[in-house]
Amino acid sequence: MNHFAYGLLTPLLAYAMSCIGSMLGLRLTAQAHASRGGSRIRWLLGAAISIGGTGVWVMHFIAMMGFQVDGTQIKYDVWLTAASALVAIVVVGTGLFLVSYGGGRILALLGGGLLTGLGVASMHYLGMYAMNMSAHVSYDRLTVAASVVIAVVAATVALWFALRVKKPIWITLAALVMGVAVSGMHYTGMYAMHVTVDAEPGMVSGADALDFLVPLMTVISLITLTMLLMVILSPSEEELHEDAELVAKLELRRRTAQQQQQLTYPAPVVEMPQPQARRPMQARRR
């Protein structure tokens, strides 16, 4: 087995994509905390696509581009690979919604971290299971357990960052840490893999990595860039806070001006005419 068939190109590119996806996801999460209603849900969905799609899934398969086994081809099952991308996005989104609407409670953070970590590990091993080759694959259970623990810890730390980190400098540092955690989980899981090539390799079914993975990763990356432009063009949390303060001040001034006007020019009192008393019935007959 060779995990670095292209040298440092694939691990460095995978780490860079993980950092970019994590950075954008944290920025979208900060934008969600400053929003309400449907807008908040849309920002969180964007964060799930950024972290789960780009930061985790794209990172995983860029790293897999450098994985080769001597004596056999490696192809990918299309539906299982697509399902692994969906799993990554769904579990990260679920964790973000749990901690965002959990009011900062530690139970929500731990539950979201456990669910997201197990989901990310499931995505990783589902993606590896989607590989088709003329070989027998086995895993070291202890190393697999270590990779799952790394995934859970990394997911919990990522969700904690999503709750606490808001300033750009801290978001950047947090994304660098998250990139290390995701990459560490991936290569730990790959290290647990043992491959025994068949004595007589046969035909391998599935899609080539260049024919299938590259277009899919390109689509997800374009979606990520689109959301990045949305974040750049959207007001930051500080700007939204300043706008809210300005609107409150203008409303206070308007009410104060109305009160002063009412005190200076009181409304005229209109006297209603008194109804005339009816004369007795006898006086009318006369």
pLDDT in tens, 47-83: 888 888 888 888 888 888 888 888 888 888 888 888 9
Q: How far is CA 172 from CA 142, 169, 178, in A?
A: 33, 5, 10
Q: What is the mean pLDDT of residues 5-28?
A: 87
Query: φ and ψ at 256, to 5 degrees?
Result: -65, -45
Do 142 and 99 contact (CB within 8 A), yes or no? no
Asked if the model's pLDDT at residue 110 lies above 80, the reply is: yes
Cα(101)–Cα(262) distance, integer angstroms:
45
pLDDT of residue 280: 56
pLDDT of residue 244: 63
Higher pLDDT: 32 or 285? It is 32
Each residue of 36-55: pLDDT tens digit? 777 888 888 888 888 888 88
Q: Please report whether residue 284 resides in a domain.
A: no
Q: Please report whether residue 242 resides in a domain.
A: no
Structural domains in the chain (count): 1
Q: Please report whether residue 165 resides in a domain.
A: yes
What is the domain range of residue 139? 8-235
pTM above 0.85, yes or no: no
Q: What is the mean pLDDT of residues 251-264?
A: 76
Cα(185)–Cα(150) distance, integer angstroms:
6
pLDDT of residue 270: 54
- Which residue type does 68 have? Q
Higher pLDDT: 200 or 132? It is 132
Q: What is the mean pLDDT of residues 138-167?
A: 86
pLDDT of residue 102: 77
Q: Please report whether residue 115 resides in a domain.
A: yes
